[in-house]
Amino acid sequence: MNQNRDKKEYWASFVQRWSGVVLALFLPVHFWVLSLALQGGEVLDGFLHWTDVPLVKFAEAGLISLLAVHLLGGFRILIIEFFRWAEWQSNLIAVAIGGSFACGLLFLLRAF
Amino acid sequence: MTNRLEIKLWLAHRLTGMALGLFVIIHLITMIVVIQGGLSAAEIMERTSSNILVVIFYGLFVIAAAIHGSLGLRTVAQEVLSWRGSSLNFVILVFFALLCVLGMVAIKGLVL
């Protein structure tokens, strides 16, 4: 597979795999933060206040971009696996990249 | 691991991926909409507390994400680390259980 590094499909597979790993490992942290609400609103607010800084907002935008690229890349895989191949499907990698950037930027625009 | 089980796990990964497609689109839109003006515990709880639809939606979301994320990590561990067999399956099962428990605790925190 490493011989195909000059092909966009190789990098689509690479991004799909490692974005999935990052998102899966982030899930326990995400759930733990939300569960702080059980200890009272002020505990959750304390954490949310800590996240209200530019660096964390950029990190959150990065996670949103990863989620969007994994979502759109996942749609691409499902379409390739479950439908007959058609030329337009080769554009789905560009759609995934564009959609991912759009989601991240939209989040940043609204967060600041 | 029998081939039949591997096929079932592959199908489970794909089916949960399809369900997550819908859940993640809703989650992404929600995040981009609510981030404006910052987040607060009171604002989050106002939307989620005592809402049975939140329990159903996020309950299914957590289960689908736990299955999809665990099976994805299992595949990566097999292909990247060449880690196979019962030790891998045990670690993945523990991770799956951890995600289910933490996810349900998070929903409890947001709804109760």
Question: For residue range B23-61, what is the model confidence (pLDDT) as tens digits?
Answer: 999 999 999 999 887 788 888 888 888 889 999 999 999
What does the pLDDT read at residue B44? 87
CATH number of the structural domain B3-111: 1.20.1300.10
| B110 at A interface, C-beta within 8 A | yes
Look at residues B1, B21, B16 and name the one whose alpha carbon lies nearest to residue B71.
Answer: B16
Residue pair B77/A6 in contact by the 8 Å Cβ criterion: no
Q: Give me A49's structure tokens.
A: 């206040």
| Residue predicted with more confidence, B51 or B76 | B76
| Domain residue extents for chain B | 3-111
For the purposes of burial, counting CB atoms within 10 Å of the CB of A13, is it exposed (0-12), middle (13-18) or buried (19 or more)?
Answer: middle
What's the start-to-end Cα distance of chain B, in Å? Answer: 41
- Interface check for B70 against chain A (CB to CB < 8 A): the answer is yes
pLDDT computed for residue B88 by the predictor: 96
Q: How many CB pairs under 8 A join A and B?
A: 101
Note the pLDDT of residue A6: 82
- In A, minimum Cα distance to B42 occurs at A41
| pLDDT at A60 > cutoff 70 | yes
Q: DSSP 3-state assignment of A84?
A: coil
Given CB atoms, is B98 within the 8 Å cutoff of chain A? yes
Architecture of the domain defined by A11-111: Up-down Bundle (1.20)
Alpha-carbon torsion A99, B22, B7, A86, what sign?
negative
Q: What is the ipTM of this complex?
A: 0.92
| pLDDT tens-digit map of A66-82 | 999 999 999 999 999 99
Residues of A in contact with B33 (CB under 8 A): 110
- Percent composition of chain B: helix, strand, coil (DSSP 3-state, to 5): 85, 0, 15
